[in-house]
Amino acid sequence: MNETLTLALALVAGVGLGAIFFGGLWWTVRKGVSSKSPALWFLGSLLLRASIVLAGFYFVSGGHWDRLLLCLIGFVIAHFIVTRLTGPPLDRHNPLAKGAGHAP
């Protein structure tokens, strides 16, 4: 396979792994807060998400540092995307919310 295509796929895989990790974190927080046993939710989710991501990094890198680096960059890109998509909707819909954070 072409090296450029391999590196592009490593970047895309990193975005996918980041989406799984941070999307799973967002889902866990939503479920764990209203649960009777939130510690079990958070611990189980952390172990599952970390296992998936570490295995994904291992398989994507294939022993090549450049693939691992691009996978990590994709992971960070996914962090920004998921944070943007799951952020508080107050800032986008309520024009008064911008001025509510400081005193007059």
Task: Please check whether residue 86 is in contact with residue 26, taking contact to mean a CB–CB distance below 8 angstroms.
Answer: yes
3-state SS, residue 89: coil
Q: What is the pLDDT of residue 87?
A: 77
Q: What is the pLDDT of residue 89?
A: 58
DSSP state of 35: S
The closest of 58, 47, 56 to 15, measured between CA atoms, is 56
Q: What is the pLDDT of residue 92?
A: 52
Structural domain boundaries of the chain?
Answer: 3-101
Burial annotation 33-45 (CB, 10 A radius, 16+ → b, else e): eeeeeeeebbeeb
Q: What is the pLDDT of residue 1?
A: 65
Distance CA 45, CA 39 (A): 10
Could you read off the pLDDT of 34-55 as tens digits, one per residue? 989 999 999 999 999 999 999 9
Q: What is the pLDDT of residue 40?
A: 93
Q: Measured on CA atoms in the order 63, 66, 67, 69, is the torsion positive or negative?
A: positive
Q: What is the pLDDT of residue 86?
A: 84
Positions in the chain short of pLDDT 50? none
Q: pTM of the entire structure? A: 0.78
Q: What is the pLDDT of residue 88?
A: 72
DSSP alpha helices (H): ranges in the chain?
3-33, 38-61, 65-85, 90-93
